[in-house]
Amino acid sequence: MRELIRLHRLFAPYRGWMLSGLGLACVTILANFGLLSLSGWFLAATGLVGLSSYAAQNRFNFFSPAAGVRFFATLRIVSRYAERLVTHEATFRLLAALRVWFYTRLEPLAPAVLQQYRAADLLSRIVADIDTLNLFYLRVYVPLLTALISGLLMVGFFLIFSGGAALALLAGLGFVGLCVPWLTGWLGARAGAEITETSAALRTEYVDAVQGMGELLTYGAAPRLTARATALNARLIGAQTDMSRLSGLGLAMSGLGTNFTLLAVLLAAGAKLVAGHMGAAELPLLALGAMAAFEAVAPLPGAFQYMGQIRAAAGRIFALADAKPAIPPPPMPAPEPAVFDLVLEDVSLRYAPDAPWALRHFSLNVPQGRHVGIVGATGTGKTTLINLLLRFHEYQEGLIRFGGHDLRAYASADMSRYVTVISQRSYLFHTTIRDNLLLANGAATEDELWHALDVAQLAAFVRAQPQGLDTLVGEAGVKLSGGQARRVALARAVLKAAPWLILDEPTEGLDAATEQDFLNDLAPLLAGRTVLYITHRPAGLRLMDEVYALSDGQAFSLR
Residue 141 to residue 443: CA distance in whole angstroms: 41
**81-118 tens-digit pLDDT:** 999 999 989 988 888 888 888 888 888 887 777 777 77
Q: Other C-beta atoms within 10 Å of 355: how many?
A: 9
Domains of the chain: residue spans and CATH = 2-321 (1.20.1560.10), 342-557 (3.40.50.300)
The sheet with strand 419-423 has its strands ordered as 419-423, 500-504, 530-535, 371-375, 546-551, 554-557
Over residues 171-178, the mean pLDDT reads 89
Residue 461 to residue 451: CA distance in whole angstroms: 14
Task: Note if the pTM is more than 0.85.
Answer: no
Residue 466 to residue 70: CA distance in whole angstroms: 58
Query: What 3-state DSSP class applies to 349?
Result: strand
Tell me how far CA of residue 436 lies from CA of 257, 392, 400, 469, 499, in angstroms.
59, 23, 33, 10, 21
pLDDT > 60? residue 53: no
DSSP 3-state helix, strand, coil percentages of the chain (rounded to 5)? 65, 10, 25
Looking at residue 233, its amino acid is N
Q: Which DSSP string corresponds to 43-67? A: HHHHHHHHTS-HHHHHHS--HHHHH
Residue 189 to residue 187: CA distance in whole angstroms: 6
Can you say how many angstroms the Cα of residue 267 is from the centroid of all Cα atoms in its chain? 52
Confidence at 512, pLDDT banded by 50, 70, 90? confident
Please, what's the b/e burial string for 245-283 (b: 16 or more CB within 10 A of its CB; e: otherwise)? ebeebbeebbeebbeebbebbbebbbebbeeeebeebbb
**241-252 tens-digit pLDDT:** 888 888 788 788
Q: Other C-beta atoms within 10 Å of 18: how many?
A: 22
Confidence at 77, pLDDT banded by 50, 70, 90? very high
User: Cβ-count burial of 480 within 10 angstroms (0-12 exposed, 13-18 middle, 19+ buried)?
Assistant: buried
* Model pLDDT, residue 302: 72
Query: What 3-state DSSP class applies to 112?
Result: coil
The secondary element (H helix, E strand) that includes residue 16 is: helix 15-50
**342-357 tens-digit pLDDT:** 999 998 888 888 888 8
Confidence at 31, pLDDT banded by 50, 70, 90? very high
